[in-house]
């Protein structure tokens, strides 16, 4: 087979692999969300202890991350001083703990479909907090897009059949803390040149997150667990759940590493629609036409936001190429000039 055929095979292979990574991530993300809902919902497994569930996840992930990095040495640890850990990782761990606690708590009060609709506000929160911390420039067109997403979510909330104020507060709080965490990762780690993949993130952040969760757990859930039979865990249920949560982090590592963060954002939109369909068809959650209309508006806003980010990335790449070409051209001219000078010197010495 010729070069053209080989190239085609290579392209096809890359496409298949990319779609495989996307499919794995969607499946695992989907599974973790539905699994958490199953455990926490009072009408299902009926174990409404979100802090405890999150702590189980963090304990499991911390242990596996430690084994992968320190024992089996599959992944290299990041060089980090104690001061950097305290100033950069600890705040991120605290925000992560709050985000997970609140988001898992929301499953007790809200349907899976409505939670996904509320999560559409994530770009709004990230952009707003980015502007607040001066990591994003304020642009009127971007802000209008953010308002359109918010408007769509507001319509979806208006049409929600099982609207619960406390559940909405919890989910919005989770979105706010998660958005702040994402911005602070860029400020506290990215700007210092510290890059953490999902495994090293778990290695450094999960124990810190676990420590922060322990404080509210002692006062909120431990007394209840101590006085009920719920303290006895079903290791099969919670072990599988924790493994899925850890596998999801590996899938993120694969997806972002082999494709891009933008691909994950786009895949996330697909996952949200699948979850809404699953919530309606299997869990039998009520999804109203107003829900779908509102989320449709938010979806278009998020899609436009992702498209704008893609265009910005392309423009940035083009700019890099132009600079590189200009540098190469300058180098070539310099070499030619040096060659001319050398030639003149040789001519003069010959004379």
Could you tell me if 59 and 210 are in contact, meaning their C-beta atoms sit under 8 angstroms apart? yes
* Token pair 């132009």: residue: 322
CA dist 241 and 35 (Å) reads 7
Q: How many residues does the chain have?
A: 351
Query: Is 11 within the bounds of a domain?
Result: no
- What residues have CB less than 8 Å from 51, skipping those under 6 apart? 101, 104, 213, 216, 217, 220, 221
Give the mean model confidence (pLDDT) for residues 116-121.
Answer: 93
Q: Could you report the per-residue pLDDT of 141-182, keeping only the tens digit for each?
A: 889 999 999 999 999 999 998 899 999 999 999 999 999 998
User: Per the structure block, which two tokens stand in for 41?
Assistant: 């919902």
Task: Name the least confident of 3-7, 126-130, 203-207, 229-233.
Answer: 3-7
CA dist 65 and 57 (Å) reads 12
Query: Is 110 within the bounds of a domain?
Result: yes
CA dist 140 and 151 (Å) reads 16
Query: Is 60 within the bounds of a domain?
Result: yes
| Cα atoms in the Cβ-side hemisphere of radius 13 Å centred on 108 | 17
User: Per the structure block, which two tokens stand in for 252?
Assistant: 């993120």
Q: How far is CA 313 from CA 123, 264, 305, 309, 318, in A?
A: 17, 15, 12, 6, 9
CA dist 122 and 124 (Å) reads 5
Query: Is 6 within the bounds of a domain?
Result: no
Mean pLDDT of the chain: 86
Could you tell me if 247 and 29 are in contact, meaning their C-beta atoms sit under 8 angstroms apart? no
pLDDT score recorded for residue 349: 62
- Kindly state the percentage of the chain with pLDDT values over 70: 87
The model's confidence at residue 321, banded by pLDDT at 50, 70 and 90, is: confident
| Residue ranges of E strands in 17-152 | none
DSSP annotation of 191 reads G
CA dist 276 and 110 (Å) reads 13
Backbone φ/ψ region at 320: left (φ over 0), alpha (ψ -120 to 50), beta? alpha
**Backbone torsions φ then ψ of 112, nearest 5 degrees:** -60, -40
Count up the domains in the chain and report the number: 1
* Token pair 């600079």: residue: 323
Could you tell me if 322 and 198 are in contact, meaning their C-beta atoms sit under 8 angstroms apart? no
Could you tell me if 155 and 290 are in contact, meaning their C-beta atoms sit under 8 angstroms apart? yes
Query: Is 3 within the bounds of a domain?
Result: no
The model's confidence at residue 233, banded by pLDDT at 50, 70 and 90, is: confident
User: Per the structure block, which two tokens stand in for 288?
Assistant: 């109203």
Domain range for 320? 17-336
Could you tell me if 209 and 51 are in contact, meaning their C-beta atoms sit under 8 angstroms apart? no
**Number of C-beta neighbours around residue 138 at 10 A:** 12
Could you tell me if 196 and 142 are in contact, meaning their C-beta atoms sit under 8 angstroms apart? no
pLDDT score recorded for residue 1: 46
Q: Could you report the per-residue pLDDT of 175-217, keeping only the tens digit for each?
A: 999 999 988 888 888 777 788 888 888 899 999 999 999 999 9
Cβ-count burial of 80 within 10 angstroms (0-12 exposed, 13-18 middle, 19+ buried)? middle
Give the mean model confidence (pLDDT) for residues 328-339.
Answer: 68
CA dist 118 and 106 (Å) reads 11
User: Per the structure block, which two tokens stand in for 268?
Assistant: 């996330």
Query: Is 12 within the bounds of a domain?
Result: no
pLDDT score recorded for residue 78: 85
Query: Is 9 within the bounds of a domain?
Result: no
Query: Is 341 within the bounds of a domain?
Result: no
């Amino acid at each position: 087979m010729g070069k053209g055929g080989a190239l085609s095979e290579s392209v096809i292979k890359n496409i298949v692999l990319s779609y495989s990574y996307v499919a794995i991530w969607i499946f695992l993300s989907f599974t973790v969300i539905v699994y958490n809902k199953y455990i926490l919902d009072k009408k299902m497994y009926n174990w409404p202890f979100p802090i405890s569930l999150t702590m189980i996840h963090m304990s499991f992930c911390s242990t596996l991350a430690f084994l992968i990095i320190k024992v089996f040495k599959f992944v290299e640890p990041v060089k980090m001083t104690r001061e950097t850990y305290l100033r950069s990782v600890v705040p991120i761990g605290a925000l992560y703990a709050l985000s997970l606690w609140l988001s898992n708590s929301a499953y007790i009060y809200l349907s899976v479909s409505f939670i996904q609709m509320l999560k559409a506000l994530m770009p709004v929160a990230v952009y707003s907090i980015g502007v607040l911390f001066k990591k994003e420039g304020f642009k009127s067109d971007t802000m209008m897009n953010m308002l359109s997403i918010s408007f769509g979510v507001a319509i979806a909330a208006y049409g929600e059949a099982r609207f619960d104020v406390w559940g909405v507060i919890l989910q919005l709080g989770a979105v706010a803390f998660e958005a702040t965490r994402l911005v602070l990762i860029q400020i506290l780690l990215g700007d210092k040149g510290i890059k953490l993949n999902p495994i090293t993130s778990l290695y450094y952040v999960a124990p810190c997150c676990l420590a922060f969760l322990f404080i509210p757990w002692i006062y909120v859930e431990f007394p209840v667990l101590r006085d009920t039979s719920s303290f006895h865990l079903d290791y099969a249920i919670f072990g599988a759940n924790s493994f899925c949560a850890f596998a999801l982090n590996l899938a993120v590592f694969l997806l972002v590493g082999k494709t891009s963060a933008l691909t994950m954002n786009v895949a996330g939109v697909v996952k949200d629609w699948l979850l809404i369909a699953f919530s309606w068809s299997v869990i039998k959650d009520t999804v109203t036409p107003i829900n779908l209309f509102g989320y449709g508006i938010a979806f278009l806003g998020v899609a436009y936001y992702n498209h704008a980010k893609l265009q910005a990335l392309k423009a940035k790449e083009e700019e890099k190429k132009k600079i590189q070409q200009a540098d190469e051209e300058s180098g070539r001219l310099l070499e030619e000039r040096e060659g001319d000078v050398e030639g003149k010197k040789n001519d003069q010495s010959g004379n």
